[in-house]
């Protein structure tokens, strides 16, 4: 799946060339900004004899979609499997334009398929990776081969374009990360130079393997590479240790090497045509790392603004990290009933969509500011400390109002204590009543609580006037200063209650939405001849904004 724009997502999936009852389809959907509504605007059936779309990339400028779909078994045996397909999309149409063959293997039960697709930032080339562990570069939109396929020695796991001018291609396998510089002299002759090879670092004394690697956006200089590394299963199975997953940021820590490369080394480094290795970038090393899970990460994405990272884990969770510090910002524990297989930010990084093999998708609203929660917690802690201090001072010094004449600051503590004990419950009940149309479910009259608060307000003003009188401030000035002081207290209460209410609703919604992932299942039972996605938008799960959460919890 991939985004055509901030509100349009293109999806592909199905049951493949089998009798599962799930049709193979390409679908275009509109997503509302609050992720509450997803509606289908275009649907293309692919047929039951072909394979399901296994990978997808979108050229938003030319409105092209490049995907990998194997032909039927009879076509493959006849040598006519043009699996790399180019589709044009629009508001009311989604049609195939052309196709190209990059897989030359003979037919077998485990016939290869196209698993990775990445379009260059210039939209002139597309890199296609297959389960044969080969990468082909094709021209866009003609899909003609730009040069012979590049072979790698290990399992191919990711392909990504980036770096300066978007001319760098990162080909990631489980054992290494290769950086290529791609140039096109006349938009026809393409040259590829292998610049550097990065190997997995040692993390937590555990052998790890690459799972994904993505460049930071092209406008960020110097470039960074955000990578996911999973602990090696074969090494840890004997010890019974968990398979930890790490997110690392690689950066340049040293300049280019001035040492010359011998002819023997050059011959042993690469045998592909037009491929030359040259260490012109410098030495890459891990700048920041973080353990994100105790199970392998299955999918990964970087926001186009370069500020956020997202990952999906085999423990069914989805997380968002800060791209600079790798600090965790958001985590959803039970996003799907099966591990997520695809994850994409929209162009503005305001929405995050994930998909799973359980035939469900989930749209998450990315908060504009992640710092509000921490400020709320600070406000709660400060309120608790003030409340405890007020109780201690009240027990020690409480007597009568006349005894406070020479100790006005103690009277302020008494005011604060009485407000916290008596006025806060009234404010809570009043706020609850206002949220439910002016009355609460328990039948309490909000006017009664308003009168109670007015009595406390008048009492507070009278008490503060006594304090100002002890400072020889009397008359109208004393009344004015008293009103200002009490107004500041009321504003502080309102802010505190608002923050507490937001946290309570967010926590309550998280518990409700994540307690039973089966309730969010959007697929239908096999045999109903339905596709990957249901037509009813009410079946989709999403994390809404704060106002949406209020309505959900209120219901």
Over residues 466-488, the pLDDT tens digits come to 555 555 555 566 556 666 666 66
For the chain, the average pLDDT equals 75
pLDDT at 528: 35
**pLDDT interval class at 521 (50, 70, 90):** very low
pLDDT at 26: 94
**For residue 531, pLDDT beyond 50:** no
- Average of per-residue pLDDT across 212-241: 80
pLDDT at 380: 72
State pTM to two decimals: 0.66
pLDDT at 539: 37
Higher pLDDT among residues 329 and 414, named by residue: 329
pLDDT at 473: 56
With tokens 């039970």, the residue in question is 334
CA distance linking residue 402 with residue 291, whole number of Å: 61
Nearest 10 degrees: CA dihedral of 499, 505, 511, 514? -100
Higher pLDDT among residues 263 and 346, named by residue: 346
Residue 61: CB partners within 8 Å, gap ≥ 6?
123
Tokens of 217: 């956006």
**For residue 86, pLDDT beyond 90:** yes
pLDDT at 291: 94
Angle 374-378-384 from CA coordinates, rounded to 5°: 145
Higher pLDDT among residues 241 and 42, named by residue: 42
- Burial class (CB within 10 angstroms; exposed 0-12, middle 13-18, buried 19+) of 371: exposed
- Average of per-residue pLDDT across 99-112: 92
**pLDDT interval class at 529 (50, 70, 90):** very low
Higher pLDDT among residues 343 and 480, named by residue: 343
Highest mean pLDDT among 71-75, 187-191, 403-407, 547-551: 71-75
Strand segments, DSSP code E, in 294-380 are: 297-302, 308-313, 318-322, 328-332, 340-345, 351-356, 360-365
Laid out side by side, the sheet with 156-162 consists of: 156-162, 168-173, 177-184, 190-198
The domain segmentation of the chain, as residue ranges, is: 374-510
**Helices and strands of the chain, counted as H and E runs:** 9, 28
Whole-angstrom distance between the N-terminal and C-terminal Cα of the chain? Answer: 33
pLDDT at 203: 82
Least confidently predicted of 63-72, 339-348, 437-446, 524-533: 524-533
Percentage of residues in the chain having pLDDT higher than 90? 45
312 forms bridges with which residues in the sheet? 299, 318
pLDDT at 57: 96
CA distance linking residue 9 with residue 340, whole number of Å: 17
Higher pLDDT among residues 380 and 537, named by residue: 380
Higher pLDDT among residues 421 and 73, named by residue: 73
pLDDT at 364: 93
Tokens of 531: 């596709």
CA distance linking residue 410 with residue 420, whole number of Å: 15
- Average of per-residue pLDDT across 349-353: 94
- Burial class (CB within 10 angstroms; exposed 0-12, middle 13-18, buried 19+) of 256: middle
């Amino acid at each position: 799946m991939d985004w055509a724009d901030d509100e349009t997502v293109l999806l592909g999936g199905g049951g493949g060339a089998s009798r599962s009852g799930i049709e193979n389809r390409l679908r275009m959907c509109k997503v509302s900004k609050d992720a509450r509504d997803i509606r289908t605007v275009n649907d293309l059936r692919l047929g039951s004899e072909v394979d399901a779309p296994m990978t997808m990339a979108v050229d938003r400028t030319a409105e092209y979609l490049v995907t990998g779909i194997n032909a039927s078994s009879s076509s493959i045996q006849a040598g006519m499997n043009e699996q790399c397909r180019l589709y044009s999309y629009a508001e009311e149409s989604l049609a195939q334009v052309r196709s190209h063959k990059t897989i030359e293997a003979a037919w077998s039960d485990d016939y290869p398929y196209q698993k990775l697709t990445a379009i260059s930032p210039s939209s002139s080339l597309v890199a296609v990776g297959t389960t044969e562990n080969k990468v082909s570069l094709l021209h866009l939109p003609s899909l003609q081969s730009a040069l012979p396929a590049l072979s790698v020695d290990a399992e191919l796991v990711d392909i990504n374009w980036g770096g300066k001018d978007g001319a760098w291609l990162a080909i990631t396998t489980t054992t290494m990360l290769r950086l290529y510089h791609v140039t096109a002299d006349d938009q026809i002759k393409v040259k590829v130079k292998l610049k550097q090879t990065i190997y997995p670092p040692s993390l937590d004394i555990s052998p790890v393997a690459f799972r994904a690697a993505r460049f930071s956006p092209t406008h960020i200089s110097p470039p960074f590479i955000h990578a996911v590394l999973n602990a090696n299963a074969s090494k840890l199975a004997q010890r019974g240790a968990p398979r930890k997953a790490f997110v690392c940021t690689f950066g340049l820590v040293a300049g280019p090497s001035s040492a010359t490369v011998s002819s023997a080394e050059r011959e042993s480094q690469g045998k592909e045509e037009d491929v030359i290795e040259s260490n012109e970038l410098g030495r890459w090393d891990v700048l920041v790392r973080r353990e994100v899970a105790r199970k392998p990460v299955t999918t990964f994405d970087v926001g186009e603004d370069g500020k956020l990272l997202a990952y999906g884990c085999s423990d069914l969770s989805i997380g968002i990290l800060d791209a600079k510090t790798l600090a965790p910002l958001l985590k959803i524990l039970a996003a799907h009933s099966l591990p997520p297989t695809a994850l994409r930010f929209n162009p503005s990084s305001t929405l995050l969509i994930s998909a799973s093999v359980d035939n469900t998708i989930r749209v998450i609203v990315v908060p504009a500011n992640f710092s509000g929660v921490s400020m709320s917690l600070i406000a709660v802690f400060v309120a608790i400390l003030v409340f405890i201090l007020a109780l201690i001072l009240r027990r020690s010094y409480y007597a009568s109002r006349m005894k406070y004449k020479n100790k006005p600051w103690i009277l302020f503590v008494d005011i604060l204590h009485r407000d916290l004990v008596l006025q806060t419950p009234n404010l809570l009940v009043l706020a609850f009543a206002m949220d439910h149309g002016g009355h609460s479910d328990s039948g309490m009259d909000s006017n009664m609580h308003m009168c109670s608060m007015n009595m406390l307000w008048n009492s507070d003003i009278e008490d503060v006037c006594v304090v100002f009188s002890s400072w020889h401030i009397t008359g109208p000035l004393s009344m004015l200063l008293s009103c200002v002081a009490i107004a500041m207290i009321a504003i502080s209460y309102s802010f505190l209650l608002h923050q507490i209410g937001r946290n309570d609703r967010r926590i309550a919604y998280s518990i409700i939405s994540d307690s039973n992932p089966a309730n969010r299942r959007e697929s239908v039972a096999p045999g109903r001849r339905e596709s990957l996605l249901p037509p009813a938008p009410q079946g989709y799960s999403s994390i809404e904004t704060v106002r949406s959460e209020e309505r959900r919890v209120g219901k």
